[in-house]
């Protein structure tokens, strides 16, 4: 009986620590670009960043239009910069830790191609 009670107590404490870590982190992803129009034969660099901490890796998403479903185009990428050659609606999210804690998905950023 002691063993069962001890196991439940440890499980409870681990759950509390995990939940409080995720809530306390409160990190959000932000997507920016210096320009949002891709010139002929050119590219645009998108930057995904997360405030308040380091060691994030990033997932990148693209939609054909604002009404289409987002598709994962890159996963677990370090650095936070994505060079794009085609227009679309882009977003990102940060992830870190084991098990992975993800931020909310960033704002959408529309990139146009000329």
Q: What is the mean pLDDT of each run of 10 residues along the chain (114 residues)?
A: 48 40 68 97 97 88 96 96 97 95 96 96
Upper half-sphere CA count for residue 96 (Cβ side, 13 Å): 19
Instruction: Confirm if 46 and 37 have CB atoms less than 8 A apart.
Output: no
Report residue 25 as tokens. 């982190």
The pLDDT of residue 53 is 74
In this predicted structure, what is the pLDDT of residue 112? 98
In angstroms, what CA-CA distances link 112 with 43, 62, 86, 109?
Answer: 10, 13, 8, 10
CA distance 26 to 78: 20
d(CA 98, CA 6): 24
Q: Is the pTM of this model over 0.85?
A: no
Q: In this structure, are residues 112 and 86 in contact, taking their beta carbons and an 8 Å threshold?
A: no
pLDDT at 19: 40
Of 28, 29, 45, nearest to 37 (Cα)? 45
């Amino acid at each position: 009986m002691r063993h069962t009670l001890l196991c439940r107590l440890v499980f409870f404490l681990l759950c509390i620590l995990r939940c409080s870590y995720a809530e306390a982190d409160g990190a959000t992803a932000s997507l920016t670009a210096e320009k949002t129009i891709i010139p002929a034969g050119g590219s645009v660099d998108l930057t995904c960043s997360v405030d308040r901490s380091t060691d994030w890796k990033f997932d990148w998403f693209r939609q054909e239009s604002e009404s289409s479903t987002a598709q994962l185009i890159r996963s677990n990428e370090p650095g936070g910069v994505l060079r794009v050659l085609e227009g679309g609606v882009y977003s990102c999210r940060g992830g870190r830790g084991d098990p992975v804690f993800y931020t909310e998905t960033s704002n959408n950023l529309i990139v146009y191609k000329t």
